[in-house]
């Protein structure tokens, strides 16, 4: 895989995303990474912009109630991320002087920060030459290096594969372009080497791609399962949260019942899960509110 070719491609294909502007803090990058998990980037730009204007530092977010943070999260999906981000902001404000650390191991000790997010923040916010692996990177590596149409299940080997591709200087040290190379690899999987369509004619790696060399063999494993949303418990949870996000005070159970009438048992199950997750609370008089607003 020729890194210069990929970097040249990235120079013209890089998307104009607000969190790629120069001079942003680690907090800006951390929020963008949390919001982008399991969510299309196109849906993240506007909420991220609003959040950064409203809460430009961890302490600003930590000062809000958890419920207000969930309300501002809106319809980004997986609202537990908002609660974990709020908890992380509190730790950053209290223990790290309002600064996001640049070390992967320290980042991994923060609430809600997993392997990918820790490496992404260290790499994209602070220029650390660490491998960053998401589903897009795993797909590009599976095809270009291993000749497979789809990646295998996530494994520790993924980090080693990505690290082996990072450009190095003549003395073996990581090149200064290593962090940008990681971003380019991810962008390639998001825009060209996608799960739905492999646009090999647009790919800078096509001349050396092992999958192309093998004739682009079809995936030989079980078919990918597409998670449905319509009618699921997740959709029911979202409808119930919508009621609470759109009100400024506690609501009666009847208001939640109207939000999901198709299956009372499913509605009850969804509400119980929201309570267990700490997204919703019950007041002393039996009303329902977002977390921290009772």
Instruction: Report the half-sphere exposure of 118 (CA within 13 A, side-chain side).
Output: 13
3-state secondary structure of 129: coil
For the record, the structure tokens of 244 come out as: 């609470």
For the record, the structure tokens of 51 come out as: 């959040």
Annotation marks residue 163 as catalytic = no
CA distance 130 to 138: 15
Phi, psi of 168 (to 5 degrees): -130, 155
- Neighbouring CB atoms inside 10 A of 280's CB total 24
Burial of 116 (0-12, 13-18, 19+ CB in 10 A): middle
Site of tokens 């050396």: 208
- Neighbouring CB atoms inside 10 A of 42's CB total 9
3-state secondary structure of 259: helix
282: β partners: 288
Which of the following is catalytic: 8, 14, 33, 115? 33
3-state secondary structure of 281: strand
CA distance 83 to 291: 9
Catalytic residues: 33
């Amino acid at each position: 895989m020729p890194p210069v070719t990929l970097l040249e491609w990235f120079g013209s294909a890089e998307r104009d995303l607000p969190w790629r502007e120069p001079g942003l803090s680690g907090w800006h990058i951390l929020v963008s990474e949390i919001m982008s998990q399991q969510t299309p980037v196109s849906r993240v730009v506007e909420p991220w912009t609003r959040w950064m204007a409203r809460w430009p530092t961890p302490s600003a977010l930590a000062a809000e109630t958890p419920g207000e943070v969930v309300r501002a999260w809106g319809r980004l999906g997986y609202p537990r991320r908002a609660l974990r981000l709020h908890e992380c902001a509190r730790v950053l404000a209290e223990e790290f002087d309002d600064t996001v650390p640049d070390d992967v191991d320290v980042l991994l000790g923060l609430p809600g920060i997993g392997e990918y997010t820790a490496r992404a923040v260290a790499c994209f916010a602070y220029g650390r030459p660490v491998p960053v692996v998401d589903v897009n990177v795993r797909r590009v590596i599976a095809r270009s290096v291993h000749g497979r149409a789809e990646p295998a299940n996530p494994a520790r080997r993924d980090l080693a594969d990505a690290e082996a591709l990072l450009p190095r200087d003549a003395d073996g040290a990581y090149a200064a372009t290593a962090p940008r190379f990681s971003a380019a690899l991810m962008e390639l999987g998001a825009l060209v080497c996608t799960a739905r369509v492999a646009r090999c004619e647009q790919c800078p790696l096509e001349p050396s791609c092992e999958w192309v060399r093998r004739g682009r063999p079809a995936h030989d494993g079980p078919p990918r399962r597409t998670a449905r949303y319509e009618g699921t418990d997740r959709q029911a949870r979202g409808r119930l949260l919508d009621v609470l996000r759109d009100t400024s005070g506690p609501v009666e159970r009847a208001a939640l019942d109207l939000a999901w009438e198709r299956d009372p048992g499913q509605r009850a199950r969804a509400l119980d899960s929201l309570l267990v997750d700490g997204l919703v609370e019950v007041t002393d008089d039996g009303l329902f509110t977002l977390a921290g607003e009772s």
